[in-house]
Chain A
């Protein structure tokens, strides 16, 4: 049993952190718990913290992009935060597409991005 997912509401942003090596049931729980919390808190954005994650498989990758699409249907933005270089390489090899999902190097930065409306002048620092 791997470490559980942490779901925290920060103002009107939902911060979801994935453990280092999530098993399939943890990954499956990601979607349910995220969507449930989105609706419960009426959050406007989801920050998905992947900074601890060390292994990405196709199932996990699909879950992430599906969840982002669902969050988008519920009117929220998704920002993926803190993806490590090795994970990014795997993601390209798996052909993961980001679509409308935004990314940030750190959770801190992602929370700032979440506060800005989409398409506003990007400010990366």
Chain B
């Protein structure tokens, strides 16, 4: 029994305590104090709802958990819990119904585990994979002050073009760039719908006061566009990215000059 107490007191991430049948705290361990911040005299006799956020208490979550544990013998939950100082931590909670030999409910065992670290790592991983996915779907890079480049590779479906429009508009506004180079060299084929999406993107960019130069219009793409009857005459289009970049620089009233005699490049 002493060994068991020793174990309970020294578990680092687990707070193990007992509740009476109505949910009032009966025992408290040093580990629980470390995790939640209450001293034994502050918490013993208090209702366990103090560990829950106000909206959880109001929605009756505590009662539901006790009922479920009493009914099924065990209840497990993962969610936000509060420390004494009001800060939140992400917890795994297991409630176990404790019954005597006659089957009467004597209380509940409660094991709370702090999973904040794990959750932070998971959250960071999720964010990273979102960023990578977004970058891979619609890469937007600044190639010059005032010029953004979007090198599109692979087929363009509706979801992707929608993302393209939103991201491009956002980045243009963020960087106050008046020109976007939309390069479709890496797009294998274009159908009417894709062309329509591109036209909409070009229009939307114009609404916010910027211009799109569509580059990488290969012979095959040019043929398809004309045969499909897609009218891109309102947009500036070029065959190569290099030609498009020249147009973009021109729109910004910049020109590239060869290095002069003193060996300094002038732009």
Q: Which residues of A does B touch, CB under 8 Å?
A: 80-85, 87-89, 91-92, 96, 98, 103-106, 109-110, 121-125
Which residues 39-63 of B have a CB within 8 angstroms of A? none
A83 x B208 contact (CB < 8 A): yes
B207 adjacent to A80 (CB under 8 Å): yes
Asked if A125 and B252 sit within 8 Å, CB to CB, the answer is: yes
Q: How far is the CA of A109 from the CA of B172 in the complex (A)?
A: 15
| CB of B135 to closest CB in A, whole Å | 19
A109–B177 alpha-carbon span in the complex (Å): 12
Please name 6 further chain A to chain B contacts, defined as beta carbons within 8 Å, in addition to the given A80-B209, A88-B207, A105-B172, sorted by A numbering.
A85-B172, A87-B207, A106-B176, A121-B253, A124-B179, A124-B211
Could you list 30 A-B pairs, sorted by A, with CB under 8 Å? A81-B209, A83-B209, A84-B173, A85-B166, A85-B169, A88-B204, A88-B205, A89-B169, A89-B204, A92-B201, A92-B207, A96-B207, A103-B210, A105-B172, A105-B173, A105-B176, A105-B178, A105-B208, A121-B253, A122-B251, A123-B251, A124-B178, A124-B179, A124-B210, A124-B211, A124-B251, A124-B252, A125-B178, A125-B252, A125-B253
Q: Which residues of B does A touch, CB under 8 Å?
A: 145-146, 165-166, 169-170, 172-173, 176, 178-179, 200-201, 203-211, 251-253
Q: Is the CB of A88 within 8 A of B253?
A: no
- B170, B203, B204 pick with most chain A CB within 10 angstroms: B204
- Which A residues are in CB contact (< 8 Å) with B146? 124-125
B209 surroundings in chain A (CB, below 8 A): 80-83, 103-106, 109-110
Do A88 and B208 touch across chains, with their CB atoms under 8 A apart? yes
Judge whether A89 and B173 touch: CB under 8 Å.
Answer: no
Knowing A85-B166, A89-B169, say if A123 contacts B207 (CB, 8 Å).
no
